[in-house]
Structure 1
Amino acid sequence: MEYRRLGASGLAVSEIAYGNWLTHQEPGCVTAALDAGITTFHTAAAWGGGAAEEAYGRAFSGLRRDDLVLCTGVFWPDGPGPNDAGLSRKHLYASVESSLRRLRTDHIDVYQLMRYDHRTPLAETFLALSDLVRQGKIRYTGTAEWTATQLLDAHTEATRFDVPLVSNQPHYSMLWRVPEAQVLPTCDRIGLGQFASIPLAQGVLTGKYAGAAVPPGSRAERPGPVAPVLRPDLLERVGLLRGVADGAGVTMAQLALAWTLQNPSVSATVTGARTPDQIRENAKAGGTVLGYDTLTQVDELLGSFIQTDPRLVWSPPSP
């Protein structure tokens, strides 16, 4: 496993980060991640009604806390009340306390603002974050799926309130290159590193949906982002990537993960797993260098299926 600095900060993160959004199934996944050299773990307060954070809390029990980079986030509703969502001062304070309790820790390394809150003044959010930093409850802050303009505004407020804003987490993969036009250059300019999320395109880039077959129990059986990309013409092109992966000496999943890491703006790529074996396979993408010929083949095969429109950065209205 290789490690990179997160943006302009001094924080080192593992190139492969483990996220337990929907796929944390076995307790052995965290052990396998640690054994593979993964030190960076992602979750959010709302995932599974808090169950995702609780799973990490159990898995990290007894481990040396300073060996971990623990990232959790806030925005989505994590309770039934009108103040149980968004980035208001009230919700940030309540959500941080709940996250700390579920994670069984006294601090969060990177506290992520999972979406932009159109209903809360940005100054209110960053003043609250500043207080939480001074209280020692969070070490750094980050954003997720913010537009370039929103990131510039966040940088202004972070500077004003002396908040260590160090990262952004965009959807970024071989198929979804939307951040490249505006978000990544902006982040480079203001010193934010990228946690690339959904690098496997919800499993599509692993080749498991070849022939549009839907494996039993997979996410494609549920309503969500996978089904719209299960197009036979796209899946045919993705299937051709197997030859590219073979030529590079990696699996299709490793190819997709390593592809994101070839971008110097990316500090780590965040992937989930259902089993320890998947974690071990994914971790091997760390440190993988893809040659120019391999990258060119990827571009040529995916061609018009690559999405680049910068207007598609997703920052929905607040809940």
Structure 2
Amino acid sequence: MEFRYLGNSGLKISEITYGNWLTHGSQVENEVAHACVRAALDAGITTFDTADVYANTKAETVLGEALAGERRESLEIFTKVYWPTGPRGHNDTGLSRKHIMESINGSLTRLQTDYVDLYQAHRYDTETPLEETMQAFADVVRQGKALYIGVSEWTADQIREGHRLSKELGFQLISSQPQYSMLWRVIEPEVVPACAELGISQIVWSPMAQGVLSGKYLPGQAPTEGRAADPSMGKSMSDYLTDEVLTAVQGLKPIAEEAGLTMPQLAIAWVLQNPNVAAALVGASKPEQVEANVKAAGVKLEDDVMAKIDEALGDVVVRDAAMTQENAPQARVA
């Protein structure tokens, strides 16, 4: 395993970070989830990312149970706040002081820890003054409940303003957690340059484009396995499941083989080539997936390989920086 500094801080994290979105507490049994966490630890992964909204708090509970008994100082545990949790009352969402303060306490209880290494704003809250949000995060840090603060799916302008306020309030905003993959590169024009300037790293989610870059979905064939076969997930993946995209993705197979990698390993290694990326978030529904994915750690893709990837994917790559704002919630979700 390789380790990278997170932003302009002294915190090192494993460049393959284990995330439990869509798995723990929902798609896989707890016993399997525990086995996946054990496989991650055995592979040298020390960084674990979750959120209170995953499986409506159950994912945090499962992760806390799976990590119980491990030396806390040897782990980096991340969680997030924003989306509705609990009974979904009128204050059970957003980044108000009330929701942040109540949410951090609930997360710490479920994770069985006194603090998280990184506490992240899961989205930008258009209904709460940013000053209120950042003051609440500052107090969470001062209370020792979180060591650092990060954001997820914020625009470059939102990150700049959040960073400015964090400096005024005396704490560090060190990370951004956006979607990023060979197919989805919307952070490259604006978010990455802003973060590089401010000393903020990316912890990227869906480096395999929700499994599409594994190559298991074929053009002209209805998906019979994986997330695309799940009616609740297939709709959100519809832009990836066109014959044009799937045909282009199949063109990556010989490139991966030539590099001595599987297609998932190539996808993970690709995002890690970006110097502003500190870690790729990788989930798993079985331990074997963890063991395979960690082999992308430390892989250096040569310039000619990167060029071949761009040529294979051509125009199916999404690069529009405006997509970050377009995909963001315009109001709190009740």
Measure how far apart 1:91 and its partner are: 0.2
Equivalent pairs counted in the alignment come to 319
Measure how far apart 1:203 and its partner are: 0.1
CA deviations on 1:100-151 (whole Å, 9 max, x unpaired) are 0100110011001010000001111111111111111000010000001100
CA deviations on 1:27-69 (whole Å, 9 max, x unpaired) are 2000000111111111100110111001101101100011111
Unaligned runs of 5+ in 1: none
Unaligned runs of 5+ in 2: none
Measure how far apart 1:159 and its partner are: 0.8
1:51 partnered with 2:51:
no
Q: What does 1:27-106 correspond to in 2, within 5 Å?
A: 27-79=34-86, 80-106=88-114
Secondary structure at the aligned position of 1:124 is classed as helix
- The residue that corresponds to 1:237 in the other structure is 248
TM-score (norm: length of structure 2)? 0.93
Distance in 2 of aligned mates of 1:221 and 1:122: 37
- The residue that corresponds to 1:148 in the other structure is 156
- The residue that corresponds to 2:128 in the other structure is 120
Measure how far apart 1:217 and its partner are: 5.4
Distance in 2 of aligned mates of 1:229 and 1:169: 21
RMSD: 1.1
CA deviations on 1:235-282 (whole Å, 9 max, x unpaired) are 111112110000000000000000000000000010111100001111
Which amino acid is 1:315 matched to? A
Q: Percent identity at matched positions?
A: 48
1:292 partnered with 2:303:
yes
Query: Is the 2:80–2:120 contact (alpha carbons within 8 Å) kept by the matching residues of 1?
Result: yes
- The residue that corresponds to 2:165 in the other structure is 157
TM-score (norm: length of structure 1)? 0.98
Distance in 2 of aligned mates of 1:58 and 1:134: 27
Query: Is the 2:2–2:14 contact (alpha carbons within 8 Å) kept by the matching residues of 1?
Result: yes
After alignment, is 75-84 or 250-259 more displaced? 75-84
Which amino acid is 1:208 matched to? K
Secondary structure at the aligned position of 1:247 is classed as helix
1:18 partnered with 2:18:
yes
Distance in 1 of aligned mates of 2:104 and 2:154: 21
Measure how far apart 1:228 and its partner are: 2.9
Secondary structure at the aligned position of 1:179 is classed as coil
1:315 partnered with 2:323:
no
Query: Is the 2:96–2:133 contact (alpha carbons within 8 Å) kept by the matching residues of 1?
Result: yes
Which amino acid is 1:22 matched to? L
1:208 partnered with 2:221:
no
Measure how far apart 1:219 and its partner are: 4.3
Measure how far apart 1:213 and its partner are: 3.8
Secondary structure at the aligned position of 1:37 is classed as coil
- The residue that corresponds to 2:260 in the other structure is 249
- The residue that corresponds to 1:301 in the other structure is 312
Which amino acid is 1:49 matched to? N
